[in-house]
Amino acid sequence: MRFDTLAIHFAQDPDPSTGALVTPIVQTSTFVQESPGVHKGFDYTRTNNPTRSTLERVLAALEGVDHCAVFASGLAAENAILQALLRPGDRVVTTPDLYGGTFRLLRQVFGPLGVTAVQADVGDPEALEAALLGARLLWLESPTNPRLQVYDIAAACEAAHRHGALAVVDNTFASPVNQKPFELGADLVVHSVTKYLAGHSDLIQGAVLARDPAVFQPVKFLQNATGAVPSPFDCWLTLRGLKTLSLRVERQNATAFFLAHRLERDGAVARVHYPGLPSHPGHDIAVRQGRGGFGGVLSVELRADAADVRRFVSERRYFKLGESLGGVKSLVCQPATMTHASIPPEERRRLGLPDTLVRLSVGLEDPRDLAEDLEEGLRALPSAPSDLLAAVG
Ligand SMILES: *Cc1c(COP(=O)(O)O)cnc(C)c1O
């Protein structure tokens, strides 16, 4: 089975007892046993549930491995990895750009437990080698949030392995449609399922995937032991969303590519961050390690002051102001005051996250309507008139 067929058929044969075409929602907390310990493979939903285990099998198939555990959120999934694999005194190396919640989890939850997290320039082999000395884990985002920086995942994983560290890739932004981290050497993949995998901005969920059962086992143990599991209904919604994953992501790739090119030529835009643009410093790596698409998220630095940026993000017709990404409805956010507000201002400046940076998550609306929505906002900025609409024609 190929990718699109896996999403629809893998582990999803009609239900043998009823003939139901679609995987049922098994909304139960517990399962009746014939005699103590004798049951049909399920005893209690925190431990395992048929709807969840179907979802775990499908996600594993889409990432090309055997093991997956689904959690109540992306951060619960990340927490399970960190708790399973780290001990006091351990060191984690991350990319400089990092999802704000991951940064907070590492600094404010695992920091006090004796875990050191360092952000390293993963793209600089010497800096990476130095940072990896004595490291237990390399935590990679590529493309990163919010500046869409791209790193050579295969080279970084190889360096981690040379230092005896495990490599984790947060594949939320790319989704397995655009990038398969296990083929590039990752030991673990984590997803905020909330985003592209579920795809409709109607649930919160996370997943951990692994190739090696020895790496996976402690994560699976923690799923049951700490209990951050999703509901069967949410698992069912994700199974539904996955059936259109590649259609959605391919369209989002195309629309983001279209908008990025137009915005790059706009006088009101100082800079566009999108790996699909030849001007992007990671473009060649993105072409080499990706599967043809560059994702549905782009960010732009506006030529405007703080008040104008606030107005721009607040007054869009279709790009609704909100955190999150990857859904069918387009979203806009200002990372400095929203998704990345938990990073102290001086650290944000050091990381290159100015207040004028705006992140766009492209949905499935008509690309021309999205272009017009942005154009209207850019024209209202007190800078050079925009030519976005003219370019759309
Ligand atoms: C949203 C997100 C997370 C956290 O996932 P939740 O489902 O919100 O807990 C982690 N990493 C990235 C890249 C994200 O975008």
Ligand 1, CB within 6 Å, residue ranges = 73-75, 99, 101-102, 141, 145, 170, 172-173, 192, 194-195, 204, 206
pLDDT at 390: 52
**What is the DSSP track for 358-371?**
EEEE--SS-HHHHH
Q: What are phi and psi of 9, to 5 degrees?
A: -110, -30
Q: Counting atoms of ligand 1 from 1, which one is nearest the CA of 77? A: 9
359 as an active site residue: the answer is no
Cα 141 from Cα 351, distance rounded (Å) = 15
Each residue's pLDDT tens digit, 355-385: 999 999 999 999 999 999 999 999 999 864 4
List, edge to edge, every strand of the sheet that includes 206-210: 67-71, 206-210, 188-192, 166-170, 137-141, 91-94, 116-119
325 CA to middle of ligand 1, Å?
9
86 CA to middle of ligand 1, Å?
20
Taking the CA atoms of residue 159, residue 279, residue 364 and residue 53 in that order, the dihedral angle to the nearest 10 degrees is 0
Q: Which domains are seen in the chain, by residue range?
A: 3-242 (3.40.640.10), 245-392 (3.90.1150.10)
The one catalytic residue among 52, 195, 262, 303:
195
Half-sphere exposure of 12 (CA within 13 A, CB side): 24
SS3 readout for 208-252: EEECCHHHHHHHHHHHHHHCCCCCHHHHHHHHHHHCCHHHHHHHH
Mean pLDDT of 330-342: 89
* pLDDT bracket for residue 339 (50, 70, 90): confident
Each residue's pLDDT tens digit, 65-103: 999 999 999 999 999 999 999 999 999 999 988 888 999
151 as an active site residue: the answer is no
pLDDT at 393: 43
Q: Cβ(363)–Cβ(328) under 8 Å?
A: yes
99 as an active site residue: the answer is yes
pLDDT at 100: 86
Q: Cβ(165)–Cβ(138) under 8 Å?
A: yes
Residue whose CA is at the smallest distance from ligand 1 atom 4: 74
Q: What are phi and psi of 161, to 5 degrees?
A: -65, -35
Burial class of residue 185 (count of CB atoms within 10 Å of its CB; 0-12, 13-18, 19+): middle
* Prediction pTM value: 0.95
